[in-house]
Amino acid sequence: MANVESFDLDHTRVTAPYIRLAGVKTTPRGDSISKYDLRLLQPNQAEIEPAALHTLEHLLAGYLRDHLSDVVDVSPMGCRTGMYMAVIGEPDEQGVLRAFEAALRDTAAHDRPIPGVSELECGNYRNHDLQGARQHAADALAQGLKVQQTVLIER
């Protein structure tokens, strides 16, 4: 099986909430694509309920793009402690941190309908929790986000 970068991260030696540059890939044409972890909760100590995580996905999809250009994708982590983000190029980590903080502020303040919530637009439109999403965003901001360096598992 191919090696997967995130399985080499020592999840016991990180401190959430944080952003972490997980890796940079270069395409055959020479463009780079950076992958980030946007971690909201401490691994193996807490988890975001599925409905709130789904709403965070819908809100951050738009708000992150408002604050950071060339975002390719923002998707929930299966462990439900945060999101993955892929972005074209190699934006500096402080810029990504500020963009994520700004997107979380927008999310925490979101008091309108959740975008993309209909049977036409979403794969599980009944499964949302705006209050929960807002609370997770506010909690992460209150704790203070940082840039987390990668700590590899010593094998």
Please state the residue numbers annotated as binding site for Fe cation: 54, 58, 122
61 touching Zn ion, by CB under 5 A: no
Of 12 and 124, nearer to Zn ion (C-beta) is 124
Residue 24 tokens read as: 């940079």
Spacing of C-alpha 126 from chain mean position:
22
Closest approach, Cβ 83 to Zn ion, in A, equals 14
Q: Closest CB to Zn ion among 20 and 134?
A: 134
In the complex, the smallest distance separating the C-beta of residue 58 from Zn ion, rounded to whole angstroms, is: 6
Under the binding rule (CB under 5 A), the answer on residue 122 touching Zn ion is yes
Report the distance separating Cα 64 and Cα 74, nearest Å. 8
- Shortest Å distance, C-beta 130 to Zn ion: 13
Under a CB-based contact definition with an 8 Å cutoff, are residues 87 and 19 in contact?
Answer: no
Alpha-carbon span 141 to 137, nearest angstrom: 6
Which pair of tokens denotes residue 134? 């807002």
Q: Which residues bind Zn ion (CB under 5 A)?
A: 122
